[in-house]
Amino acid sequence: MERAPFSAAYVENSDSVSDIDSENESTDLQQSEPEIETSRINAITRAVEKGSEAVVSIMATEPVRRQETPRDEFFRFFFGDQFPQENTSMGSGFIVSEDGLVVTNQHVVGTNPSEIMISMGDGSTYDAQLVGFDELTDIALIRIESDTTFPFLDLTDSDDVIVGEWSIALGNPFGLFDDGQPTVTVGVVSAKNRDFRADPNNPRVYIDMIQTDAAINRGNSGGPLLNSNGEVIGMNTFIYTGGTSAGFVGLSFAIPSNRIEKIISQLLTSGVVMLDYDPGMEFTSMTEQLIYRYQLPYVQGLLVTSVNRNGPAFECGILPGDVIVRIGEERVMSEMHAWALLRDYDVGDDMNIELIREGDLYQTEMKLRQKVKDTTSN
C-alpha cells in the first residue's frame, strides 16, 4: 500500500491552503487600514480642516504714549533714552473674505498701530492695515495688503447656537505658531447671552456673550469659535478666572457672530460705528456726587441731562432729570453699558425703557427713527 503520493499530495495541498490564508489575511489588513483611518474622521476634524487655513496670527506694534516728567529727563541725561518706545501685542484673527479682510479683537491691535504683521498657516507673512475698530465692543477689522485670494470663514447666525453643541476654538496661544498651524481646543457651548457689566476703568462692554468650556488662553484672543459645521459662531475674547489664577478654569467667552457681522459692516462702510438713529436725549452715568447733589434715588442707571423736543425721547415722555434704569430687558449699569445696549437697535424698532421720576417707576416705549435736527432742547 503506497501512501507516499497521498502524503505528498496532502503536504502540497496543505501548503497551498496556508498560502491562501496568508493572502486573505494580508488583503483583510489592507482593507481595514483605510476603514480605520476613515473612522477617525468626524465632524470636529472636518471643521478644523475647514477652519485652520483661514486662521491667522497677528502681531501689532503700537507707539508708547508717555507723559514726560522731570524725573524722566534726569535719568535720560545720565543713562540715555532707555524707555520703551513701542508696545508689541500678539493675538489671533480669522479671514472673512477672499480679498483678505481679517476680524480680530480691538485689544489685539490697539488704537493706533504703526505696524500690523499677519502670519498664515502655511508660513507666509503679510503686512496689514487697520480698517477700523470699535473699542466699546472690542472688535477690529484689518485688511491684508496683497492681491492674493485667501481662504475665508463664514459667519453663521449666533441666535441659532444650541447650548450643549460642540464648540471648537482655534487660535495662537502664547504665540506658538512656528509650526504653521493654529492650536485647536474643543468643548461645548455652556451658555448663551452672558453679560459682563462695564468696568469704570475699561471702556469695553461685553453683552450676549457665548460661554464655552473650550480652553482659551493668552494669544487665543481674536480667533474663531466654530460649530461642528466649521462655521463661525463667535470670536474668542477672554476667560474668567474667578480670582483663582491667571489661567483657564473652564469659563471662556466669545463675542457672538451676529454682533461681529453688524459691527464690521459699519467699519467697512465708514471706519467707525455709529447708531443709525438718534434717541433724542443726552445722559450720563449715575454717580454718588449726582445722587447727593440732586437728591436722586440711590440706583445704578442713567441721568437724563437734556432732551431734544424733536426727538424720540421727548415723544415717548422722557424728561431731563429722569433716571433710566432699564433698556429693553437689560438693567442699565452705566453710560458705556447703555451705548452698548443701544447698538442692538435699528431705525424702526420699538425700545422699551424703564425710568424713575420723583420716586415712581414708569415704563415707556420709544420708537426709533432717523435723526432730526435739534432746534430746541430742555
Question: For the segment 245-278, what is each residue's pLDDT rounded down to a tens digit?
Answer: 556 667 899 999 999 999 999 999 888 888 889 9
- Does residue 9 fall inside a structural domain? no
Say which range, 80-84, 112-116, 209-213, 231-235, has the weakest mean pLDDT: 80-84
- Does residue 132 fall inside a structural domain? yes
- Distance in angstroms (rounded) separating the CA atoms of residues 240 and 216: 10
Same domain for 105 and 138, yes or no, is yes
One-letter amino acid of 59: M
pLDDT of residue 72: 55
- Does residue 21 fall inside a structural domain? no
CATH value at residue 331: 2.30.42.10
- Does residue 153 fall inside a structural domain? no
pLDDT of residue 83: 53
- Does residue 337 carry a catalytic annotation? no
The string of pLDDT tens digits covering residues 110-120 is: 988 999 999 98
- Does residue 3 fall inside a structural domain? no
Same domain for 361 and 316, yes or no, is yes
The string of pLDDT tens digits covering residues 50-79 is: 999 999 999 999 887 655 555 555 555 555
- Does residue 134 fall inside a structural domain? yes
User: Residue 49 burial (CB < 10 Å; 0-12/13-18/19+)?
Assistant: exposed
Same domain for 110 and 86, yes or no, is yes
Selecting among 57, 92, 119, 138, the annotated active-site residue is: 138
Domain boundary among 270, 303, 322: 270
Selecting among 57, 92, 107, 257, the annotated active-site residue is: 107
CA distances from 124 to 60, 144, 193, 361 (A): 16, 12, 37, 60
pLDDT of residue 27: 56
- Distance in angstroms (rounded) separating the CA atoms of residues 274 and 339: 10
- Distance in angstroms (rounded) separating the CA atoms of residues 109 and 60: 5
Same domain for 263 and 287, yes or no, is no
Residue 348 CB partners (closer than 8 Å, separation 6+): 367, 368, 369
Cα end-to-end span (Å), the chain: 129
Cell 447698538 belongs to residue: 343
Same domain for 195 and 252, yes or no, is yes
User: Is residue 366 pLDDT above 60, yes or no?
Assistant: yes
pLDDT of residue 9: 42
Same domain for 62 and 134, yes or no, is yes
- Does residue 107 carry a catalytic annotation? yes
**Of 300, 228, 220, 301, residue with least CA distance to 255:** 220
Selecting among 221, 257, 285, 334, the annotated active-site residue is: 221
Domain boundary among 270, 301, 330: 270
Same domain for 131 and 172, yes or no, is no
**Of 244, 283, 224, 208, residue with least CA distance to 95:** 224
Higher-confidence residue of 122 and 115: namely: 115
The string of pLDDT tens digits covering residues 201-228 is: 677 888 899 999 998 877 788 999 999 9
Residue 90 CB partners (closer than 8 Å, separation 6+): 57, 58, 59, 60, 108, 172, 175, 219
- Does residue 20 fall inside a structural domain? no
- Does residue 8 fall inside a structural domain? no
Same domain for 127 and 207, yes or no, is no
Q: Report how many domains make up the chain.
A: 3
Domain boundary among 90, 119, 144: 144
User: Do 254 and 235 form a contact (C-beta atoms < 8 A)?
Assistant: yes
- Does residue 32 carry a catalytic annotation? no
pLDDT of residue 1: 47
Same domain for 255 and 167, yes or no, is yes
Same domain for 298 and 266, yes or no, is no
Domain with 134 in it = 50-144
CATH value at residue 94: 2.40.10.10
Same domain for 355 and 301, yes or no, is yes
